[in-house]
Amino acid sequence: MPDLFFYGTLRHLPLLERVLGRPAGAIAARPARLPGHGVFWAEGQSFPMIVARAGQSAEGLLVAGLSDADIARLEFYEGGFDYDLRPVRVVSDDGGMARARVFFPPESAHAPRPGAPWSLEDWAARWGPLTLRAAQEVMAWFGHKEASEIAPLFPSIRRRAASWLAAQARPADPARDIARDVRVLEHGHDCLNFFGMERAGLRFRRHDGSLSGPVTRFALLVGEAAVVLPYDPANDCVLLVEQFRAPVFLAGDRAPWVWEPVAGLVDPGESAETTARREALEEAGLALTRLESAGRCYSSTGSSGEFLHLFIGIADLSDAPQGGGGLASEGEDIASRIVGFDELMRGVDAGEYKDLPLLTTALWLARHRDRLRNDA
């Protein structure tokens, strides 16, 4: 097979290892450059793009000895974005010319524009770990799904990868050694869509010190979410939003329109605080003046890996817009209303609300309401 020249993220050997499914020592790679081209950040994105530029050379990696199976794996990883393999001539590290093929991005009116010159080192520092984790999930579906099915799901995959990295960064349990106390016998991916479903066969350390027998467990994975209950301390009221929730409907509940706080998924590279402020604007047209952390927690540890960042968002609700909200591009149809604090708590006590983040933030607000009102 012809050699391939990589100018972008696949120059990162750990990523190339993951996509090809073999260690770097088994990959014949050497430095090379493609004259007449430059590599730039795709504007507003976390990946590079190659552009014809007279007088410039695109630095890269020339990889030889690729099999048909290797090409199939590479096309699966890149092909869903309509990247096209084209023949070129590159200058190898010994100064000689070599024939190769390159994945070129599609040329269309919707393609991103080139931004600043791209740096592999800068990309690896900021996006390398996330991309490696995302590639692990992507390549788990090689041979099971088409590349065109994977590409639209990359944002969801990257959110799950970012959530996994954030979980890894949280403190370990000082009383347990997870490497010793959890033994993974088998791991797989059972579903890929907006959510991911992972399966693990494992044994875990029991409270009597013994290891459990083999068990199979499943986890619904989505990422991290920011939840914010807007509160006006001067007027002692909150803003709630209501929307149709398909999981509630599919669970058989005959009241699937649910009153909730404002909420949204945290995008890679974004803080939970930024997400909370963004979602308040999108769902309720609110500019929050301050955020109070109301806790961080898993939404349902027996079934889901979703991790929530809970906030009370201080805002002036005296002239807050009520009615419709949400993004049409995301199929959102959101209503909102202002509820006095006493009315909110009567609803909590009467069991009128069934959204756990709403109950949690409402009870946190009840504990801290006096302080927030005194600070107003």
Determine the Cα–Cα distance for residues 266 and 163; give it in Å rounded to an integer. Answer: 9
pLDDT, tens digit, 9 for 90 and up, residues 242-264: 999 999 999 999 999 999 999 99
List CB contacts of 307: < 8 A, sequence separation 6 or more. 163, 166, 167, 223, 224, 225, 296, 297, 298, 299
Q: Are β-strands 215-221 and 196-204 bridged in parallel, bridged antiparallel, or unpaired? A: antiparallel
CA distance 300 to 39: 44
**Given pLDDT bands bounded at 50, 70 and 90, which one contains residue 112?**
confident
Work out the pLDDT band at 107, boundaries 50, 70, 90.
confident
Where exactly does CATH 3.10.490.10 map onto the chain? 3-150
Q: pLDDT tens-digit profile of 221-241?
A: 999 999 999 999 999 999 999
Tens of pLDDT along 22-63?
Answer: 998 999 999 999 999 999 999 999 999 999 999 999 999 999
Give ranges for CATH 3.90.79.10 in the chain: 224-375
Query: Does 3-150 carry CATH code 3.10.490.10?
Result: yes
Please state the separation of Cα 292 from the chain's center in Å. 24
From CA 30, how far away is CA 20, in angstroms rounded?
16
Q: Is the pLDDT of residue 110 over 80?
A: no
For the domain spanning 224-375, the CATH number is: 3.90.79.10
Q: Residue 267: which of 155, 154, 135 has the closest Cα?
A: 155
pLDDT above 70: residue 327: no
Contact 59, 92 (CB under 8 A): no
303, 320, 307, 296: which is closest to 230 by C-alpha?
320
Q: Record the pTM.
A: 0.92
Tokens 């004259």 sit at which residue? 35
Of residues 63, 5, 9, the one with CA closest to residue 33: 5
